[in-house]
Structures are given as structure tokens and as C-alpha cells.
A and B are shown apart, each in its own frame.
Chain A
Amino acid sequence: MKEARELYLSRLSLVNFKNYQELDLDLSDKINCFVGQNGIGKTNLLDAIYYLSFCKSFLNPLDTNNINYDSDLFVIQGKYSRDGEEEKIQVGVKRGSKKLVKRNKKDYSKLADHIGFCPLVVVSPLDTNLVTGGSEDRRKFIDGVISQFDKSYLDRLIKYNKILQQRNKLLKEFNKTGRFDEETLSVFSDQLVILGTKIYNARKLFIEELIPVFQQYYEFISGDREKVHLDYKSQLQEADFEKLMSTALQKDRILQYTSVGIHKDDLIFTLQGHPMKKVGSQGQQKTYLLSLKFAQYEYIKKINGLRPILLLDDVFDKLDSFRVEQIVKLVSDKEYGQIFFTDTNKKRLTHILEKIQISNKIFHIVSNGFEESSI
């Protein structure tokens, strides 16, 4: 396989972003650690880096909420080295005006054009939703990865959801008026079948590729001590969508919504044959999540050709020392590019970094600034 190309953020500058009024950081091209107490702003730094890749926050969906309390705008600037070329990315948000994203001082007319330019994978405590939350969170995970590279997938998904809404509304309308118009309903059903089948095939393909990579990672991190499984579950596996749709017609009329389709898809996580959500310990669930994210990392790297930036927010929490060591072994491999860790425990991080001989920078955040060191 072709070697993935290099990508790293060499300098991060912030103005009025969250708790940072002004900040300039020169970063290591390999490992960067942000350590400090709760609420000091470690994760906010990761969020700024996330902004530069996805033009939005992974913590707060409302842009203006990320502006420092007393000001009107924030600016995030990043200087990247991308496959040997220097690239400057800037994100600016001002109250009352449109968000601007620039590459080398030139505005993007569509933010979607920027996504994928600096690939990135984040693992944060919020991701536990993936294991413990509803199926919607897991579909979002699948859709998020596929649509980064397949714009027609995203287009189909948006259309599918719109048509689904219309069809449900129509079913409700039938119930209210007592008049059933099969002809109109079937126009929506037919379109759902065409779009849904394509979405199903894309999801299946993606997950089939993801599963073996995921398994490998889980085995490695856990030391192969427990058997886990990841499965794709869709109603479309049992019969083709068209047949499902026609069989469910009477049921849909009674329920007044569409009961079959890819909007019911899910990923099934199991540990020794039992649902992860129920039997997994917090550490096991975390391991599961990490393996899933590492598999996602591999997938993005393969398709994009660049080594994504990896943000690991508080990942060592709840893991035993063996698993922590395995993770560090993993990411210190040359297959991984630039990595950002956050931790409240400087001792633990220092201890870990001493074991692996990789260029690194530790930023100890204190109330009046930064103490920089490296091991």
C-alpha cells in the first residue's frame, strides 16, 4: 500500500476563542500534550484544532457560544504542513455575520469544500454516546465518515430524510381525513426504496471494511483477553427494500409513520456475545470506542491519503495501566501522524512519554499562561 502523506499543525493562534483571549503555540509534529486542572481550557484547544478541520465545534453547535464572553468575534489560525506544502487556515466568527473560513487568505464560498482538506479524528468522553446512546448516534457515526468522501451519499441521505418526513406526514394526513391515496403514497415509497437501497449498500461496504480493522485494534489494546463483536443490523438484510415496504404498508397506516427502512439501521456492539451497553465495564466500553475510532482513522487515512490529526481527549481515564501502555505503543507507531493528548495528570503523561522516544511537547496550562517542556 502507498505510504500515507504527512499532515501536521505547526502553529496554532487564537484570538478571543472561549477562555483564550490571545494565544500562540508552536507545536510538535508528533506528540503534543495539554495538561492542567479542570476547567483550565485543555479541551478548548482541541476544539480549536477541530474547528480548523470541520469549520465547527465538537462541543458546542452554536458558533457564537464559542466567543470569549466580552468580545464580538473569535479568530482561529492554523499553520499546517500538508504533504510538504505550507497551508494557512483561518476560521473567524463574528456576532451577527457569516462565519468565514479562509485558506491562504482566500475565502471558501462553501464550507463543505474545506472539509476533508485537513482530515482529523477526535476521541472524546462525549463519544461514549456511541456505545450507550440510541441508534441515531451510531448512524451519525457511519454517515459522518462516509459522507466526508462521498458527496452523493450525503445528497442521497438528505433526500431520503426529506422524503421520509413527507411520507410520514402523508400517513398522518390519511388518518386524519380518513381518505387513503395509495397512488401518492407509492410515489414517496418508491423513491425511498431507490435511495435507501443505495445508502444501505454504501453502509454495508463501509462497515465490512471497518470490522476486521476494529477487531485487530480491540485485540491489541485489551491484550486479546476478551471477545468483542461489531455487526451491522439493517432490515434490508432480511429482504429487499421494495418487498419490506409493501409488506409494511398496513402497519405503516396504523402506526402513521414509516416502520421500515435504513432509518432503522444500527450497529450492534457485543462483548462475549452480550450487549456491550449492558455488560461492558466503563474501561471495556472505552476500549471499544477507541478501537472503533482507530478503525475510522485507518479508513480515512486510506481514502484521503493523508495521515489524519488525532485528538485524544482524556482517553487514559478509566483504563488500566496495561491498556494505557498498549495505546501509547499503538500511536507511537510511524503509521500515526500528529497527536494531541489532554490529561489532568502530568505525572502519568510524563511517565508514558519517558517510555517512548518520540519528539513531544508538553504544555502545562496554568491560570496565567503556559509552561512548556518536553521529554
Chain B
Amino acid sequence: MIEREFPSKLLDKAVNEFSKLPGIGKKTALRLVLHLLKQEKEDVNAFGNALIQLKNEIKHCKVCHNISDNETCEICSNQLRDKSIICVVENIKDIMAIEATQSYFGTYHVIGGIISPMDGIGPADLNINSLVEKVSSGEVKEVILGLSTTMEGETTSYYIFRKLAKYNIEISVLARGVAIGDELSYADEITLGRSITNRTKFETTYNE
């Protein structure tokens, strides 16, 4: 495609900013910008201000590193949540996914990425030390490793496991197995193999 010059520098600037976003190319960026241009002035102001405010005023919970409006997030400041159970996740999207299940009443710890030397991310770039500190304070009974099942995710889980192994706590990992509603013959061998080795007692699944 031939890069065409826009008739206005301002337009060019806005399109460039939009196309920096993930999944947005030059064409989509132009469409979005032209759409905004057609909107009322107040609406566009509100849009811009929301972004500026977001970046300037958002905080990271000092307990779990989740995104929050206050010093401590809603989950960490909730008296009903069990502070002795911590689920380790990669980012806030994972918290939202687990919260949506309405089956978890412990707290979280967001490490903010996974170990991958190929991408230049090492353990020092992640919030792992603060997790170790939390555990060493003695108030934690269980750490659930809720990271992706990719090779990088498992490497990170293993790293954290080794860091926490000397403390007298339980370290668990999300169960891997056949997805609910799936036919067995469509499950891949690796998952099914794990499911059969780590099978669970029927009574525990019966009441859910």
C-alpha cells in the first residue's frame, strides 16, 4: 500500500497516535479519528479527559498491585475476603476472569507479566519480591498459582514455587482438565492425559 499524506498535520498526528494502539492499523485509525471529528465538542473533550485522568490518577494497590482508585483496591480492603489465600495472576484481566466465576473469596497478587528472556523480561521486572515478603510475614496459608499454561507461564510458576518452597504454606495450581461441555473425543491428548492422572472425587463435582 502506498502511504498517502493527509491534507492536515493535525489529522496526521491524531491518526498516528491511534495506530500505536494494539490491533489498530492506519486505516482503522483514520476511521476512528474521522468518527471523533464528527462528534460534539463536549463528547470529544470527555473522551480525551477520561484518558488523561486515567493515566494521571490511577493507582496500583499497594497490597496486590491491582489497578485501583485508592491506595488499596476494593478486593484487598474488603473485610469479607480471606487474606490468608492469595491467587497469583499475570494481570488485571485475569483477576476479572476469576472474579466473574464468583467462586473465589481470597485475595490476589498481580505480578505484571511472565518470565521470558526472549522478550527481555526477567524475575526482577515482576512483582515477585513483594509476594515473598507477604508470605514471609506468616499470615498466608495458601498461594494459588493462576498463571497461563504456556511454557513461559509454567516457567514463572516454577520460579515462584521455588521462591516460596521454604515457607510452611500450601502452594497449589489451577486444575488442568477437560472443559465443561466438551465431548471427550474432541479433547486433546495432553489435556485428557492430565485429567485422567489428576482425576477428582465425584462428590466434589456433584454439588457445584
Query: CB within 8 Å of B: which residues of A?
Result: 151-152, 155, 159, 162-163, 165-167, 169-170, 173, 181, 183-184, 187-188, 190-191
Tell me, yes or no, whether B104 is within 8 Å of chain A by CB.
Answer: no
| Closest-CB distance, B18 to chain A (whole angstroms) | 27
Give Cα A39 to B188, complex, Å: 42
Q: Which of B120, B158, B189 contacts A187 (CB 8 A)?
A: B158
B155→A152 contact, CB < 8 A:
no
Give Cα A105 to B93, complex, Å: 40
A191→B158 contact, CB < 8 A:
yes
Known contacts A152-B190, A152-B193; A169 and B158 CB within 8 A of each other: no
User: Closest 10 A-B residue pairs measured CB to CB?
Assistant: A170-B117, A151-B189, A169-B117, A187-B159, A162-B151, A166-B117, A159-B151, A169-B118, A155-B190, A187-B158
Give Cα A152 to B158, complex, Å: 20
Give Cα A187 to B162, complex, Å: 9
A-B contact pairs, 8 of them (CB 8 A): A152-B190, A152-B193, A155-B190, A166-B117, A170-B117, A181-B122, A184-B115, A184-B123
Q: Which of A163, A165, A184, A191 contacts B122 (CB 8 A)?
A: A184
B159→A184 contact, CB < 8 A:
yes
Contacts of B116 in A (CB 8 A): 166
Give Cα A181 to B22, complex, Å: 33
Name the residue of chain B whose CB is nearest to the CB of A185: B117
A173→B117 contact, CB < 8 A:
yes
| Closest-CB distance, B163 to chain A (whole angstroms) | 8
Give Cα A209 to B89, complex, Å: 45
Give Cα A190 to B161, complex, Å: 13
Contacts of A188 in B (CB 8 A): 155
Give Cα A173 to B120, complex, Å: 9
Give Cα A187 to B188, complex, Å: 27
| Closest-CB distance, B162 to chain A (whole angstroms) | 7
- B interface, over-half SS: helix
Give Cα A188 to B115, complex, Å: 10
Contacts of B193 in A (CB 8 A): 152
Give Cα A37 to B6, complex, Å: 59
**Interface-centre pick from B151, B158, B162, B193 (highest chain A CB count, 10 A):** B151
Name the residue of chain A whose CB is nearest to the CB of B159: A187
B118→A151 contact, CB < 8 A:
no
Q: With A183-B159, A184-B159 given, name 11 new contacts (CB 8 A).
A: A152-B189, A152-B190, A152-B193, A159-B151, A166-B118, A166-B155, A169-B117, A173-B117, A184-B115, A187-B155, A188-B155
| Closest-CB distance, B58 to chain A (whole angstroms) | 30
| Closest-CB distance, B156 to chain A (whole angstroms) | 8
| Closest-CB distance, B132 to chain A (whole angstroms) | 12
| Closest-CB distance, B152 to chain A (whole angstroms) | 8
Contacts of B123 in A (CB 8 A): 181, 183-184
Q: Which of A151, A169, A191 contacts B155 (CB 8 A)?
A: A191
B190→A165 contact, CB < 8 A:
no
Give Cα A184 to B160, complex, Å: 10
Give Cα A190 to B151, complex, Å: 13
| Closest-CB distance, A89 to chain B (whole angstroms) | 20
Give Cα A108 to B123, complex, Å: 41
B188→A151 contact, CB < 8 A:
yes
Give the contacts of B177-208 with A (CB-CB under 8 A): 188-190, 193
Name the residue of chain A whose CB is nearest to the CB of B163: A183
Contacts of A166 in B (CB 8 A): 116-118, 152, 155
Question: Interface digits, B144-169 against A, CB 8 Å rule (1 contact, 0 not)?
Answer: 00000001101100110010000000
